[in-house]
Structure 1
């Protein structure tokens, strides 16, 4: 089980024109926004990464508008874990469970998840908050990540798992995000 006190949200490369051509884009964007808002309610650290932002453009507003207090980490490697700034930011959280969301599932998300697992992190991939341009690439990526040891979850499931109890102000806020 995930614990909110031991978990970080990692957002991978949801940027520019590439984000606009993802399979099931509208659902993806809605789930990503819900997860960012939920992570803030639950006080999870958020590590936000962009692939070649000067070429691919900025993160979509559905995410960036909720993260004014921080700056994304720019990278040029497919795996976030090859970026020393990413590794430092993740280590600074002191947490060993990671929820991964973003694009593309079969490239940057997949390679990041594999390296996080190799580094000893517990990794959960939010299946309805990752995508690729083609649905079959996303499906293959989810299968390979699960075979490698990552857990699969979905937006609503992970938020309620992290919340753990059906009471309190945080629960009410999470509930309002899901409805």
Structure 2
């Protein structure tokens, strides 16, 4: 079960033209925005990654606009854990439960999730907030993570786990967000 004070989101490479051509891209971007907005309402930190932005372009505006106060970490490795700036940023949060979302499921999401798990973190992939260029590759990435012991969750499941209670202003705001 996710705990608000232990959870962190790692947002992986939702950039440029690639973000527009992945399987069901509009739905994935919509789910990512809900997830990020909900987590920010709950004061859950986000570590934001960009793969080779000089070539792939910046994070899509629909997502980037909700990342105020956060700077993306540039990387070249598919497994972000091979980027020291990333591992330091994750460690600095003090969080042990990590949600992973973004693209592509079978490459950077998969390799980063495995890398985090190998570093001892409890990792969950947000299955409705990841994608790949093809549905088959998305499924392959999800299945490989599952086989490695990484749980799947969804945007709604994660947010409701973190809220715990159906009360308060934040609950009301998140319910509106999810409609």
Conserved 8 A contact 2:20-2:26: no
- The Cα of 1:149 is off from its aligned counterpart by 1.1
Structure 1 residue 77, shift from structure 2 partner? 0.3
Q: Does residue 1:149 correspond to 2:149, yes or no?
A: yes
The separation in 2 between residues aligned to 1:170 and 1:150, in whole angstroms, is 28
2 CA distance for matches of 1:27 and 1:73?
25
- 2 CA distance for matches of 1:46 and 1:66? 11
CA distance in 1, matches of 2:120, 2:68: 30
Asked if 2 retains the 8 angstrom alpha-carbon contact of 1:32 and 1:62, the reply is no
Secondary structure at 1:126 match in 2:
strand
- The residue number in structure 2 matching 1:5 is 5
State the shift of 1:92 in Å.
Answer: 0.5
Deviations 1:92-135 (A, max 9, x none): 00010000000000000000011111111001100000000000
Q: State how far apart, in whole Å, the 2-side matches of 1:173 and 1:87 are.
A: 32
Would the aligned equivalents of 1:51 and 1:75 in 2 still touch at CA under 8 Å? yes
Question: How many angstroms apart in 2 are the aligned matches of 1:28 and 1:98?
Answer: 19
**Structure 2 CA distance, aligned partners of 1:117 and 1:24?**
27
- In structure 2, what is the equivalent of residue 16 of structure 1? 16
Q: Which runs of 5+ in 2 are unaligned?
A: none
Aligned Cα root-mean-square deviation (Å)? 0.6
Report the CA distance between 1:70 and its aligned residue. Answer: 1.5
Q: How does 1:4-83 map to 2 (within 5 A)?
A: 4-83=4-83
TM-score by length of 2: 0.99
Which runs of no fewer than 5 residues in structure 1 stay unpaired? Answer: none
CA deviation vs aligned residue, 1:133-169 (integer Å, no higher than 9, x gap): 0000100110110111111011111111111110011
